[in-house]
């Protein structure tokens, strides 16, 4: 489906912001006389900017409206620095070079816009506020609208959106402040003559401000401390400006005593926000009272961003944060429209060609099935014919070759095993020591299938335990023995008295069923019986 770009006549403005999965939007219409009229406020749930815009377009009509997006906190950066010593037309290029070491993303392709702080209000040099949007975030937001056939009139930020609201409450030549509590943080802005002088994030969550009495009191105390610090900084920087009052937007569920608690901690006069003073909310019906007295952070952002079209703000600098070199969001010229029509014709021709190819493919599939059937018939006929003697002889040779290969693999496996050496046996014997038992000889034949172990012991009864302990080693685990001989060591005097020499002969596991411990126990019993017979013979 082809979308045609709509022009923006400024008669109706739709602003939207997405905080996490919550999407908020508002439509504001301007009349020649009277307050801006809020036609509707909308809230939805969606993951991602694209999904949020789709949900908004499905719920509300967006064609013919000026669409303004308010970026959430994670999609932009705000940095305050001294004004570069170049003409104002070159500020953007100068700030790119100046800020390249202060952000964690490339500033060369970032979307950047600047706001100057009025020099007459500053004690020292003039300052400028820079707002940067990383290219990856900007592309995501821009494509989200373009995919729906929409385009952004502007991209704004909460600081300037709330600045527009704060400017409505100013008293003559005096500055004014606006404090708003959000879901994850609060924001304090201070303005003079509609221009933003200072903006500060207050790290107090909405859940803390609307919690129980103890939690709410602690949160409001922290917020008051941060507000006082910001006001003190403001008075030092803008000594020629008087801060007349502060408007506080109390969120739903904050409680009636919150404003009084803040008034006790902050010396600046505080006033509760009432949006009816600035907006016509009659179109909202029952929702009007709640929005007027207890608006949310996101609702204030979308309403403040819509004030960029306010007739009284014609001279006020508004952020755009759009890439003028991007082809998205621009109405295509006549040549581009012709290109679109040509592309549509080519697409139609391709569709007709595709249908013809599909019919040809169907014919080829039928022919292939018939050929496959003929091949199956030939295979069945070949299977019915008896095999020739030559074929039988060839099959016999293949079987003999397979048998010879098995023998060769077995021999090769034995050679590989034997090439590993016998160090594992010696290490196993070295690890498994036992009091009164020592090994005097080790003889391993071939691949380890035949093994002879000789040693001596001063206690015949200790031998089974030692052999059982040795059986936990990998080289001796499950080893079976065909013979275990035990003889007393003769000669040598007192040094060899009571010493017994043993010889343990092992075989393959499939040639016997006597384990190491069983063989040792039998040898011990046999040695005991011989000793008993000798004692009786004497």
Distance from C-alpha of 161 to C-alpha of 302, rounded to nearest angstrom? 7
**Mean of all residue pLDDT scores within the chain:** 80
Q: In what order do the strands lie in the sheet with 243-249?
A: 195-202, 186-192, 175-181, 243-249, 270-272
Are the C-beta atoms of 196 and 160 separated by less than 8 Å?
yes
- Encode 447-481: b = buried (16+ Cβ within 10 Å), e = exposed: ebeebebebebebbebbbebbebbeebebbeebbb
Residue 419 has pLDDT above 50, yes or no: no
Are the C-beta atoms of 40 and 62 separated by less than 8 Å?
no
Distance from C-alpha of 482 to C-alpha of 141, rounded to nearest angstrom? 83
* β-bridge partners, 486: 502
Q: Does a structural domain hold residue 5?
A: no
Give the alpha-carbon dihedral of 80, 82, 86, 89, to 10 degrees.
30
Q: Based on the domain organization, do 312 and 247 belong to the same domain? A: yes
pLDDT-derived band at 337, boundaries 50, 70, 90 = very low
Distance from C-alpha of 394 to C-alpha of 253, rounded to nearest angstrom? 92
Distance from C-alpha of 53 to C-alpha of 25, rounded to nearest angstrom? 10
Which residue, 284, 304, 331, sits at the end of a domain? 331
Summarised one tens digit per residue, pLDDT across range 43-74 is 999 998 999 999 999 998 887 788 999 999 88
Give the alpha-carbon dihedral of 524, 527, 528, 530, to 10 degrees.
160
Most confident of 39-48, 123-132, 429-438: 39-48
Summarised one tens digit per residue, pLDDT across range 211-230 is 888 998 999 999 999 999 99
The total number of structural domains that make up the chain: 3
- pTM value is 0.60
Could you tell me which residue, 412 or 529, shows the higher pLDDT? 529
Q: Based on the domain organization, do 375 and 458 belong to the same domain? A: no
What would the DSSP string read from start to end of 186-218?
Answer: EEEEEEETTEEEEEEEE---HHHHTS-HHHHHH
Of the chain, the percentage scoring pLDDT greater than 90 comes to: 31
- The mean pLDDT value for 16-23 works out to 91
Residues 6+ away with beta carbon under 8 Å from 108: 96, 100
- The mean pLDDT value for 500-520 works out to 62
Lowest model confidence (mean pLDDT) among 137-141, 308-312, 411-415: 411-415
Residue 9 has pLDDT above 50, yes or no: no
- Encode 21-49: b = buried (16+ Cβ within 10 Å), e = exposed: eebbbbbbbbeeeebbbbbebbebebeeb
Predicted local confidence at residue 345, as pLDDT: 58
Q: Based on the domain organization, do 359 and 442 belong to the same domain? A: no
Domain of 274: which CATH number? Answer: 3.30.420.380
Lowest model confidence (mean pLDDT) among 69-83, 110-124, 514-528: 514-528
Q: Based on the domain organization, do 366 and 496 belong to the same domain? A: no
- Residue owning tokens 């905080």: 19
What would the DSSP string read from start to end of 16-84?
Answer: EEEETTEEEEEEEE--SSSSPEEEEEEEEE-SSHHHHHHHHHHHS--TTSEEEEEPPGGG-EEEEEEPP
Lowest model confidence (mean pLDDT) among 16-30, 52-66, 112-126, 312-326: 112-126
Q: Based on the domain organization, do 465 and 380 belong to the same domain? A: no
Q: Based on the domain organization, do 228 and 242 belong to the same domain? A: yes
Could you tell me which residue, 191 or 519, shows the higher pLDDT? 191
Predicted local confidence at residue 8, as pLDDT: 39
Q: Does a structural domain hold residue 367?
A: yes
Residue 209 has pLDDT above 70, yes or no: yes
Residue 329 has pLDDT above 60, yes or no: no
Are the C-beta atoms of 460 and 500 separated by less than 8 Å?
yes
- The mean pLDDT value for 88-105 works out to 84
pLDDT-derived band at 530, boundaries 50, 70, 90 = low
- The mean pLDDT value for 344-353 works out to 61
Q: Based on the domain organization, do 192 and 242 belong to the same domain? A: yes
Lowest model confidence (mean pLDDT) among 21-30, 39-48, 303-312, 501-510: 501-510
Domain that holds residue 384: 337-415
The tokens describing 442, both together, are 């080790």
Residue 128 has pLDDT above 60, yes or no: yes
Q: Based on the domain organization, do 79 and 130 belong to the same domain? A: yes
- The mean pLDDT value for 272-276 works out to 93
Run of H or E including 223: helix 213-237
Length of the chain: 538
Q: Does a structural domain hold residue 7?
A: no
Predicted local confidence at residue 333, as pLDDT: 45
- The mean pLDDT value for 25-32 works out to 86
Are the C-beta atoms of 16 and 47 separated by less than 8 Å?
no
- Encode 94-128: b = buried (16+ Cβ within 10 Å), e = exposed: bbbebbeeeeeeebeebbbbbbebeeebbeeeebb
Summarised one tens digit per residue, pLDDT across range 147-177 is 888 899 999 999 999 999 999 999 888 999 9
Predicted local confidence at residue 383, as pLDDT: 66
Predicted local confidence at residue 229, as pLDDT: 93
Run of H or E including 237: helix 213-237
pLDDT-derived band at 10, boundaries 50, 70, 90 = very low
Predicted local confidence at residue 332, as pLDDT: 47
Q: Based on the domain organization, do 322 and 341 belong to the same domain? A: no
Which residue, 377, 398, 415, sits at the end of a domain? 415
Which residue, 304, 331, 358, sits at the end of a domain? 331
- The mean pLDDT value for 117-133 works out to 75
The tokens describing 499, both together, are 């010493």
Could you tell me which residue, 75 or 519, shows the higher pLDDT? 75
- The mean pLDDT value for 272-278 works out to 93
Q: Based on the domain organization, do 296 and 362 belong to the same domain? A: no
Domain of 517: which CATH number? Answer: 3.30.1360
Q: Based on the domain organization, do 326 and 342 belong to the same domain? A: no
H helix and E strand count, the chain: 14, 17
Lowest model confidence (mean pLDDT) among 79-83, 158-162, 521-525: 521-525
The tokens describing 159, both together, are 């600081």
Distance from C-alpha of 449 to C-alpha of 478, rounded to nearest angstrom? 12
DSSP structure class, residue 508 = -
Distance from C-alpha of 501 to C-alpha of 298, rounded to nearest angstrom? 93
Lowest model confidence (mean pLDDT) among 192-201, 411-420, 432-441: 411-420
Q: Does a structural domain hold residue 1?
A: no
Q: Does a structural domain hold residue 390?
A: yes
Lowest model confidence (mean pLDDT) among 287-301, 348-362, 443-457, 509-523: 509-523
Closest CA to 13 of 311, 332, 331: 311
Could you tell me which residue, 439 or 344, shows the higher pLDDT? 439
- Helix 462-470 to helix 516-537 angle (10° resolution) is 170
- The mean pLDDT value for 197-202 works out to 93
pLDDT-derived band at 124, boundaries 50, 70, 90 = low
Predicted local confidence at residue 299, as pLDDT: 94
Distance from C-alpha of 396 to C-alpha of 208, rounded to nearest angstrom? 87
- The mean pLDDT value for 394-409 works out to 74
Predicted local confidence at residue 180, as pLDDT: 95
Q: Does a structural domain hold residue 3?
A: no
Distance from C-alpha of 120 to C-alpha of 529, rounded to nearest angstrom? 118
Q: Based on the domain organization, do 341 and 455 belong to the same domain? A: no
In this structure, the strands spanning 243-249 and 270-272 are parallel
């Amino acid at each position: 489906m082809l979308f045609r770009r709509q022009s923006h006549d400024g008669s109706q403005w739709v602003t939207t912001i997405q905080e996490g999965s919550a999407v908020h939007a508002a439509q504001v219409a301007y009349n020649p006389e009277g307050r801006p009229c809020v036609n509707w406020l909308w809230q939805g749930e969606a993951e991602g900017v694209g999904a949020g815009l789709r949900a908004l377009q499905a719920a509300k009509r967006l064609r013919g409206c000026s669409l303004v997006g308010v970026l959430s906190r994670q999609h932009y950066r705000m940095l305050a620095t001294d004004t570069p010593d170049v003409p104002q037309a070159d500020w953007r290029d100068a700030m790119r070079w100046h800020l390249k070491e202060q952000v964690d993303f490339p500033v060369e392709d970032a979307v950047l816009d600047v706001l100057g702080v009025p020099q007459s209000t500053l004690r020292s040099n003039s300052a400028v506020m820079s707002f940067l949007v990383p290219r990856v975030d900007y592309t995501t937001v821009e494509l989200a609208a373009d995919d729906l056939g929409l385009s952004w009139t502007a991209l704004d930020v909460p600081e300037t959106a709330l600045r527009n609201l704060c400017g409505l409450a100013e008293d003559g030549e005096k500055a004014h402040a606006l404090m708003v509590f959000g879901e994850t943080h609060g924001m304090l802005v201070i303005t003079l003559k509609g221009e933003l002088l200072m903006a500060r994030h207050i790290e107090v969550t909405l859940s803390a401000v609307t919690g129980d009495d103890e939690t709410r009191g602690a949160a409001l105390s922290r917020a008051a401390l941060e507000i006082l610090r910001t006001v003190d900084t403001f008075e030092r920087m803008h000594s020629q400006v008087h801060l007349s009052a502060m408007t506080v937007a109390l969120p739903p569920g904050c409680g009636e005593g919150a404003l009084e608690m803040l008034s006790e901690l902050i010396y600046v006069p505080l006033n509760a926000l009432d949006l009816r003073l600035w907006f016509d909310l009659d179109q909202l019906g029952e929702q009007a009272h709640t929005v007027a007295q207890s608006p949310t952070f996101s609702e204030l952002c979308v309403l403040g961003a819509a004030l960029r079209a306010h007739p009284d703000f014609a001279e006020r600098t508004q952020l755009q944060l759009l890439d003028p070199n991007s082809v998205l969001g621009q109405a295509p010229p006549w040549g581009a429209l012709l290109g679109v029509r040509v592309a549509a014709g080519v697409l139609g021709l391709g569709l007709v060609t595709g249908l013809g190819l599909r019919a040809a493919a169907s014919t080829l599939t039928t022919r292939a099935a018939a050929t496959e059937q003929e091949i199956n018939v030939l295979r069945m006929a070949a299977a019915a014919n008896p095999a020739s003697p030559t074929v039988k002889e060839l099959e016999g040779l293949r079987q003999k070759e397979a048998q010879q290969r098995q023998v060769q693999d077995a021999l090769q496996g034995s050679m590989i095993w034997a090439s590993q050496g016998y160090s594992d046996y010696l290490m196993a014997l070295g690890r498994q020591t036992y009091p009164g038992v020592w090994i005097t000889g080790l003889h391993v034949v071939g691949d380890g299938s035949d093994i002879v172990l000789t040693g001596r012991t001063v206690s015949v009864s200790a031998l089974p335990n030692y052999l059982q302990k040795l059986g936990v080693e990998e080289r001796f685990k499950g080893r079976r023995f065909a013979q275990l001989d035990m003889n007393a060591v003769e000669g040598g005097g007192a040094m060899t008295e009571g010493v017994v020499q043993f010889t343990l002969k092992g075989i393959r596991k499939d040639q016997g069923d006597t384990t190491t411990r069983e063989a040792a126990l039998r040898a011990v019993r046999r040695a005991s019986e011989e000793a008993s017979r000798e004692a009786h013979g004497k």
